[in-house]
Amino acid sequence: MQISTFRIGEQLYGINIIYIKEICNLLEIFPIPGAKKFEYGLMNLRGNVISVIHPSLFTEYDNNLLGTKNKLLIFKNDDYLRPLLDIDLLKKPMSLGKDLIGLIIDTISDVIEIDDEKEIGPLTPNIPEKLNRILSGVIYHNRQLILIIDLQKFNKNISYIY
Amino acid sequence: MAKSEDEELINTFLNDIKEALAKLEENLLHLESSTDPALVNDLFRAAHSVKGGASFLEYKPVIELSHAMEHLLGKVRDGEYTPRQDDIDALLEAVDMIKICLDNPEMSYDITQLKVKLSKNFQDNENLELKNEEVEKKSRPALTLAMETNGPIHAPPPEKNQTLVPDRVSDQVPDQVPCNLPKANETLKITVLKTNKLVSLASELVLARNQILSHQQKKKNADYGGKNAFQNIDRVTTEIQTEIMGMRMQPISIVFNKFPRIIREIANKINKKIKIEIIGENVELDKTIIESISDPLNHIVRNSADHGLEAPEDRIKNGKSAEGKIILKAYHAGGQVYIEIKDDGRGIDAEKVINKAIENRLLTKEQAQTLSTEEKLKFIFAPGLSTAEKVTDISGRGVGMDVVKTNIEKLGGHIDIETILGKGTALRISLPLTLAIISGLIVEVDNLTFAIPHIGFEELLRVTSKDYHDKIFNVENCRVLKVRDELLPLVHLGDCLSLKKNEIKREALAEKGPAKKDLALTNSETILSSIPSKKELPTRWNLKILIVTTGNNKFALIVDKIVGFEEIIVKSMPAHLRYLNTYAGVTVLGNGKVALIIDISGISQKNKLIFDKIQNAVLNFNSKNASKGSAENASVLIFKNNQDKHYAILLSLIRRVDKIIHKDIQTYNGKQFINYMNDTTRIIDFNSSIDMNVEGERKPPAQCDNDGKRLIVIPKNLKRPVALLIGQGVETREIPLKLEENGLGLNDPFVSGTAIIDGKITVLLNIYNIFEHYENDCFSLNKSSLKSKKQIKILLVEDTQLYLKLTTDYLKEQGHQVITADNGKIALEILLTGTAVDLVITDIDMPEMDGLELTENIRSNPQFKCLPIIALTSITNEKSIKRGMQIGINRWLPKNDKINLISTINEIVEAELCK
């Protein structure tokens, strides 16, 4: 499977490319008064409302993430997932909810090809709890550590955290 | 049932049958009272549709039953037979049976007995059997799904949904029938899924339109052609949207129409006589709302019939007619639909409710004692509380009003209850019209945009630095806004949303730097701090305030900027943000901005503590104020005559003040007239005619303005157009009314009294008398009808001298005898010393003892149990009124409405309440 990798700060993260709807520039983001810190705001993407998540959900890295270089990684919702389910591209049926959710990242990096999930290694115990909650494993690629995000865990976390 | 491959077709038929059944049910009830041929024909056709549908499905029990029904109805139609009560019962029973059959087609049913019932009153079973064969023969009728809706009239009558059973219909339905068929009823069935898709597409279209609109507004000199084309798009879009939304709208009659039947059955079962009245069955609501409102309504109506209405003998004992009455009423108001269920039964005893609540440990006895009657009644909505002392199969089955309430609130509605012991109960449900597109007010706070649903707010107002101190007060460290005579909690929208508590720094926002730091109202800390002194007020302090309501709560919200109205498409809140109950959803505005939609009831709940605190503070403030003495203010219109003398008229008596051109005034027969708003209006010149009475000498005619413009005053409640021509220097002012006690104009019928305003002696005019003097009979009610048939003795309790005098004058004019008292305490003493009076008219806000307390005292004395009490007050808030009514005030009237007061007194006199 293909893993799309991206950076937040120095750290390299990865996510199964099949779950990514698109990557776009940050447009004007409208904050949500009263929301949690990581619930950064709402963005209008061609008439659709994207709920923008700040990486503070899982990392302490909190540099200015609103530069012109920064991107928004938008995940698929059930509407985009359904066609994949229909043609059996997904191994098991899953749900990502009805909302379009985007994660602010620093830069987008390479797409790497891995042999199935065998290459994904287990999480090491020294990973902070906050981060642990959204990961499915790690990959060592070109002597770099890539943290693989599990989108279902990610979604669950933004709904139930704290 | 036939195992047809085409499930959709089967569903179509099932729906047809169900529709026909509903029609049967509705019309069968009318059959009791009339055998109007059109009605019977309708019934016959409905039974026929059922049979047609059932024969397609080859569902034998239903075919047989419907055939028997059709047969009976056919006899009635042909005039061979007049239906009896038990026939109708049998027909209804058959309808029920068919329903059951359709719901559980797997079961087998014994319908022979029912068939016998349907035909027992006329002996031609042979005929029935014969027809039955015919049914078998026709069991595979030719089906045509004709999409053409406007076919030729001579064609066989299309059944609902264009399901044609050609040969059958033409040989059974008389020729004249086709013309009677309402063409408008032809329907095309579309799945809800498809309409939903259309609704969301229409929403997108509206969005795109709005985007073009805001683009268009930006560039002002757009070419003409483009503008024209856009206007077209704009219009068509709006139309498409309304039409599509309209597709989902259904009349509430769908729900209402089943109630006559339900009520009839209940009435028979429990031996009560019940009449049901349905009003406004054409009011339309979104399909989803209609569907979900059915059960709650059912529950409420059953409750009313079973528990609300008394048994006939009890009713007669209580002086009511034996027949109980339930009114179902739907109507539009303020962008919402209201449904009222009213009965004239025994009402609900708040004490019983609260005792039950205590029994169920919902609260303690001590807590209960502090509650008002209204609050006690609200416990009827608490879970697991049925007030029915015995549980019947009609109502009171444990699922109670709490379920009703939650269901209604899920739809975005509210439910209120009102009850008068012995008189009846009314439940009022308010519902939104639709769910997807709403009209919203766009506002800004701290450069963030929010939308407020139109439904929630009542009015907009601006408080400038000039009138800040007149409008905004600090009551026990809480800010309140004075709107007319009401004090409302005042909060900043930003505080309600805990704006500024977001921790991530927003660079973009910080730069623009909300320049509202000096606006001390924005922070929760400062909202509770004391009001700044005059010096601290920044000169550009202009507050924009929205007054919003939710349920019983009313409060004022400050916003930074009001952008305008827009039709907004409600998108649901992302799931992970639903915990924020201050928002009802999100929307994308025409300018591409994302705006959160404010949930007013959420805000009210979130800030409940603050609001409650303010409300209490306001109450305390009011009571304190009252004890300080009469601080009653009145708005007056002040003007000067030729001689620079000052006059005033109570603003509440005036309908309109307008400018006219002096030379337009024409004189006929020594009377002056003007064409004002297409009415020949009689003019009474204040300076030349009335002044004389006051001053005792005639003055030269009034001078005009330089441009010949003069002012006229038109009072309220006029029957004929009459206006008072007044002098210059007109202004309105709110003044504390304190009448001077001197001899000036004491016996002048045109003068109510004098007051000192801005150091000038001002004569307060009695414009009723002035107008009556010059133009006899010009008010809405003429004197003869106003004159009471009987003169009574009235105790008038009022602390403000002006009103005391005004009202006494009115009453004396009517020939009534008036005893006055300055406050409740004095009034009570008068009553207790044995002075017999027929009626008490009391102010509410008074020192020593207020009107409510007075009422309670009067009512607690058995001697005065039936003494009618009218409250005459400027208090208009619902809570006080409700409370007043509960403790025994008979009528609640505004001050200064002479006509209303007098007609109410007459009403009371006539109703002989005084006895």
Residue A146 tokens read as 């890539």
Tell me chain A's radius of gyration from C-alpha atoms: 15
Is B574 within 8 Å of A44 when comparing Cβ atoms? Answer: no
Contact state of A35 with B494 under an 8 Å Cβ cutoff = no
A67 touching chain B per CB within 8 A:
no
Choose the weakest-confidence range: B145-154, B472-481, B612-621, B632-641: B145-154
Residue B734 scores a pLDDT above 60? yes
User: Which of the 8 DSSP states describes residue B378?
Assistant: G
CB contact under 8 A, B594 and A47: no
Residues of A in contact with B503 (CB under 8 A): 37
List of residues 6+ apart from B581 with CB closer than 8 A: B599, B602, B605, B606
Q: Considering only residues 424 to 443 of chain B, which have any Cβ-Cβ distance to chain A shorter than 8 Å?
A: none
Among chain B residues, CA nearest to A67: B507
* Contact A61/B at CB under 8 A: no
Q: In this complex, is the C-beta atom of A49 within 8 Å of any C-beta atom belonging to chain B?
A: yes
- Long-range Cβ pairs for the range B202-208 (8 Å, 24+): B202/B240, B202/B241, B202/B244, B202/B245, B202/B437, B203/B241, B203/B436, B203/B437, B203/B569, B204/A47, B204/B569, B205/B237, B205/B240, B205/B241, B206/B237, B206/B241, B206/B437, B206/B567, B206/B569, B207/A47, B207/B569, B207/B588, B207/B590, B208/A47
Q: How close does chain A come to B558, measured CA to CA in Å?
A: 16
> Which site among A32, A57, A98 would you substitute to test the B interface, given the most B Cβ atoms closer than 10 Å to its Cβ?
A32
Collect all residues of chain B within an 8 Å Cβ-Cβ radius of residue A66: 507-508
How far is B812 from B749, CA to CA, in rounded Å? 12
Q: Which residue has the tokens 């898709």?
A: B197
Provide, as residue numbers in chain B, all residues whose Cβ is less than 8 Å from the Cβ of A34.
Answer: 497-499, 501-502, 580, 582
Which range has highest mean pLDDT (A42-56, B129-143, B670-684)? A42-56
Judging contacts by C-beta atoms under 8 Å, the chain B residues touching residue A59 are none
pLDDT at B439 over 80: no
Query: With an 8 Å Cβ cutoff, are A44 and B592 in contact?
Result: yes
Burial of B103 (0-12, 13-18, 19+ CB in 10 A): exposed
Determine whether the interchain pair A33/B207 forms a contact, defined as Cβ–Cβ distance below 8 Å: no
| B577 in contact with chain A, both atoms CB, cutoff 8 A | yes
Rounded to the nearest angstrom, the minimum Cα separation between A157 and chain B is 9
A56 and B509: CB-CB below 8 Å? no
CA nearest to B603 within chain A? A34
B571 touches chain A (CB under 8 A): yes
Strands B646-650 and B760-765: parallel
* More confident of the two residues B704 and B377: B377
**Using alpha carbons only, what angle is made at residue B594 by residues B589 and B597, rounded to the nearest 5 degrees?**
85
Question: Do A106 and A65 contact (CB within 8 A), yes or no?
Answer: yes
Asked whether the beta carbons of residue B502 and residue A33 sit closer than 8 angstroms, the reply is yes
**CA distance linking residue B450 with residue B548, whole number of Å:** 15
Question: Cα–Cα distances in Å, from B872 out to B317, B516, B577, B579?
Answer: 34, 44, 50, 47
Q: Which two tokens stand for residue B668?
A: 């006929």
**Residue B519 in this model has a pLDDT that exceeds 80:** no
Report yes or no: A64 at the B interface, CB cutoff 8 Å.
yes
Q: Is pLDDT above 70 for B391?
A: no
In the predicted structure, residue B422 carries a pLDDT above the cut 70:
yes
Q: Which residues contact B29 (CB under 8 A, 6 or more apart)?
A: B88, B260, B261, B264
Please check the confidence at residue A74 and state whether its pLDDT lies above 90. yes
Give the phi and the psi of residue A103 in degrees, each rounded to 5. Answer: -115, 130
Contact A158 B576 (CB under 8 A): yes
Q: By three-state DSSP, how is residue B709 classified?
A: strand
Chain B residue nearest residue A66, CA to CA: B507
Mean pLDDT of B700-725: 69
Place of tokens 């049913």: B109
Contact A30 B504 (CB under 8 A): no
Question: In chain B, what residues touch A42 (CB-CB under 8 Å)?
Answer: 574, 586, 594, 596
Note the pLDDT tens digit of each residue in B289-308: 888 888 888 888 888 888 88
**CA–CA dist B179, A23 (Å, integer):** 64
How many beta-carbon pairs below 8 A join chains A and B? 79
Distance in Å, alpha carbon of A30 to nearest chain B alpha carbon: 6
Q: Which of B494, B508, B577 sits opposite A35 (nearest CB)?
A: B577
Q: Between chains, do B498 and A33 touch, taking CB under 8 Å as contact?
A: yes
**Residue B292 touches partner A, C-beta closer than 8 Å:** no
Q: Which of B206, B501, B504 to mutate to test the interface with A (most CBs of A within 10 A)?
A: B504
Mean pLDDT over A17-35 rounds to 87
**Residue B121's pLDDT band (boundaries 50, 70, 90)?**
low
Q: Is the CB of A30 less than 8 angstroms away from the CB of B596?
A: yes
Q: Say which of B207, B448, B583 has its CB closest to residue A31.
A: B448
Report which listed range, A26-35, B492-501, B777-786, is most confident: A26-35
Q: What is the pLDDT of residue A51?
A: 92
Task: Please give the pLDDT value at position B729.
Answer: 67
Q: Which residues of A touch B572 (CB under 8 A)?
A: 98
Those of residues 203-222 in B touching chain A at CB distance below 8 A are 204, 207-208
Q: Which of A143-157, B189-203, B468-482, B615-629 has the lowest mean pLDDT?
A: B615-629
Angle at B194 between CA B188 and CA B196, to 5 degrees: 120
For helices B401-410 and B287-303, the axis angle rounded to 10 degrees is: 160
What is the CA angle B132-B136-B142, rounded to 5? 125
Q: Can you give the three-state secondary structure of B845-881, one letter per residue? A: CCCCCCHHHHHHHHHHCHHHCCCCEEEEECCCCHHHH
pLDDT tens-digit readout, B316-364: 888 888 888 899 999 887 667 889 999 888 888 888 888 888 887 777 7
> CA–CA separation, B405 vs B388, rounded Å?
18
Which of these ranges, B208-222, B360-374, B500-514, B864-878, has the smallest mean pLDDT?
Answer: B500-514
Q: Which stretches of B599-741 are assigned E, i.e. beta strand? A: 633-640, 646-650, 654-661, 666-668, 671-676, 679-685, 709-715, 722-726, 731-736
Closest in B498, B575, B577 to A98, CB measured: B575
Q: Is A159 on the interface with B (CB under 8 A)?
A: yes
Q: What was the pLDDT predicted at A35? A: 83
Residue A49 is nearest to which of B503, B583, B586, comparing CB atoms? B586
Q: Nearest-CA residue of chain B relative to A48?
A: B588
Of A37, A49, A159, Cβ closest to residue B571: A49
Q: Do B596 and A37 touch (CB under 8 A)?
A: no
Distance CA B667, CA B723 (A): 14
Q: How far apart are CA B71 and CA B91, in angstroms?
A: 11
B48-62, B730-744, B829-843: segment of lowest average pLDDT: B730-744
Question: Given the structure tokens 């004058």, which residue do they identify?
Answer: B809
User: Mutate which of B449, B496, B502, B582 to disrupt the A interface (most A C-beta within 10 Å)?
Assistant: B502
Q: Decide if pLDDT at B263 tops 80.
A: yes
Tell which wins on pLDDT, B267 or B118.
B267
Would you call B574 and A101 a contact, using CB atoms and an 8 Å cutoff?
yes
Q: Return the number of other C-beta atoms located less than 10 Å from residue B191's C-beta.
A: 10
**CB-based contact B577 A97, cutoff 8 Å:** no
Task: Encode burial over B880-898: b for 16+ CB neighbours within 10 A, e otherwise.
Answer: bbbbbbbbbbbbbeebbbb
Q: Which residue on chain B is closest to A97 by alpha carbon?
A: B575
Look at residue B697 in the predicted model and tell me its pLDDT.
Answer: 42
Inter-chain CB proximity B498 and A34 less than 8 Å: yes
Residue of B833 and B396 predicted with greater confidence: B833
C-alpha separations of B296 from B269, B284, B327, B409, B710 in Å: 21, 18, 16, 11, 60
Closest residue in B to A41 (Cα–Cα): B594
Reported as half-sphere exposure (CB side, CA atoms, 13 A), residue B79 has a value of 3
Note the pLDDT of residue B334. Answer: 62
Query: Which residues of B, range 449-488, sit inside 8 Å of A by Cβ?
Result: 449
% chain B with pLDDT above 90: 1
ipTM exceeding the 0.90 mark: no
Q: What pLDDT score was predicted for residue B575?
A: 81
A51–B contact, CB cutoff 8 A: yes
For the stretch B20-32, pLDDT in tens is: 788 788 777 777 7
User: Does the structure show a pLDDT above 50 at A56?
Assistant: yes
Q: A49: which chain B residues are within 8 Å (Cβ-Cβ)?
A: 571, 574, 586, 588, 594
Are the CB atoms for A18 and A67 separated by under 8 Å? no
Whose tokens are 């609902």? That residue is B160
Write out the DSSP string of B188-199.
----HHHHHHHH
Read off the pLDDT of each residue in B509-526 and give the average, rounded to a whole number: 34
Per residue in B591-636, pLDDT (tens digit) is: 778 899 888 878 887 777 777 777 676 666 655 554 444 445 677 8
